[in-house]
A and B are shown apart, each in its own frame.
Chain A
Amino acid sequence: MLRVEGVSAGYGSFQALFDVALAVEAGEAVAVIGPNGAGKTSLLRVVSKLIEPRTGTIDFDGHDLAGLGADEVTALGMAHVPEHRRLFAGLTVEENLRMGAFLPAARKQFSTRLEHVYELFPRLAERRDQIAGTLSGGEQQMCAIGRGLMSGPKLLLLDEPSAGLAPVIVQQVFDMVQRIRSEGFTVLIVEQNIQQVLRVVDRAYLLEVGRIKASGAASELLASDDIRRAYIGL
């Protein structure tokens, strides 16, 4: 589904990623874990082409993404739920979801998908006419994920969905991710909350200062002493 090879990227004179390679197969859920500032967000931004990689190739669903803009990548079937959720704060929940279905192909499916998102997140259905900026943090995350799902993506990118949320809500967010997985979506998720995310994905990569340091099945990484010591603090 997604194949990233030899990707380096950065902003100005700052280099965020060095020769990164990773792959996501259809139906899989894969996590990229690592500490703050490891380059996780940059990695997702390169994959969805919000920033252009300096070297390397990205192949998505049989398409080489070289030279494509983020809007074209979205049209190919990738949905990127950005860091900090980035809802359109002044629009209602339903209008945010409608923006997720902006692509002509998605518009035709708008009502069925809307129903589906409301089934997945009943709270959103209750608040459909509420201004998105006034939602609670957890609800905003639901809305952001829902907006991503509205395009009917083949691959869903989630950037730190648990960031900035209260512990109880964090639990709910990972339940959401679990539910989305069970719907059969392919997911690439970036997280700092390593212990939680490793319970809901199949495989994971460890990213440290812009380089992939380790990878493997989620259960292996969860059991690895190094990772436990360094990141989970047990």
Chain B
Amino acid sequence: MSTVEISGLVKNFGAFQALKSIDLSIGDGEFVVMVGPSGCGKSTLLRAIAGLEMPDDGMIMVGDRDVTFEEPADRGVAMVFQNYALYPHMTVAGNMGFGLKMAGIAKDAIADAVQRASDILSIGDHLHKQPKALSGGQKQRVAIGRAITRQPKVFLFDEPLSNLDAALRTRMRVELGRLHNELNATMIYVTHDQTEAMTMADRIVVLSSGAIEQVGSPRDLYNRPGNLFVAGFLGSPKMNVLQATLVSATDGELTASVAGLPDITRPLDVTEGRELAVGDKVLLGIRPEALGEGDISFNLKARVVENLGRETLIYGTPENFRSCDGDAEDGDIVVQYPRQYDAAAGQTLTVGMPLDAFYIFDSDGRTRSFAAAH
């Protein structure tokens, strides 16, 4: 078990900057999930840690060892791939023991290690089989088993569950959590699925365009996103965003005016960042689940009603204001009721809105006021 320390890591593909000076510390035994949209650099960062991509600058330490220029096999890391990447010509046991065989470990010791790993994952019955005889879930277990067999200091997962069906994904998610507890290993996990990120991570690293946007615990990131990107990326459906103008910025308070709504006043939670002045354009954010009941109410013409059983999502056009950005269509907002709600498309609903549930972002996208907890 080991820490991972990344400092100033840069990776370019030609003119494209895939990683722009990444600094990241991962603690011993921590489960870190890296999320971000496609092309944000999360996989590149993982592959750089694995040694599959050579960084152009910066340093990677595993434990107290500088592994920046080490061969992948010498870094003490093991990786589980999205497509399993099992060796098709070897048996399950052969796949799992291959790394140890390459390291020159004696056959008996390999067999023991394979046995141990297969017990952990309950794939003992399949050891003699070829990968092509296994189901997708079994293959992924073997791939994980292959990583376990090598007893690495750090486990790397590259979207390991994305090829599985929804039910299996949920089961494997739980199992990976169990595995993490059992092995107490350092794990770095890349995904684009926020459910995986929110449920499994000790800490989430949000990346965008090759840079880290924010690092923190799942709840922290969700409740106190550092900027508009993180606020928008975590949470589904996305946060509703409205354009506003500052009408007052004094005594640790911000007041913003939105066409069609009363002025919104929130405490200035973050003082760093650009100087705020009256007349500045700002953005207001409010999560779909914060709407429904509250201080004021507005009329919403429902366009789409999604009844998900446990909750209901209503996409619609507000009567007297417009949103910008968001999952709904231009100008539309989305409301999430944590229950079943009888409504039909075309209907006009009255929706409550708590005025303290707004986040305020400055024109750089930095969060200046957080929503009150509800």
Co-complex (A, B): no
A residues with a Cβ closer than 8 A to B are: none
B residues with a Cβ closer than 8 A to A are: none
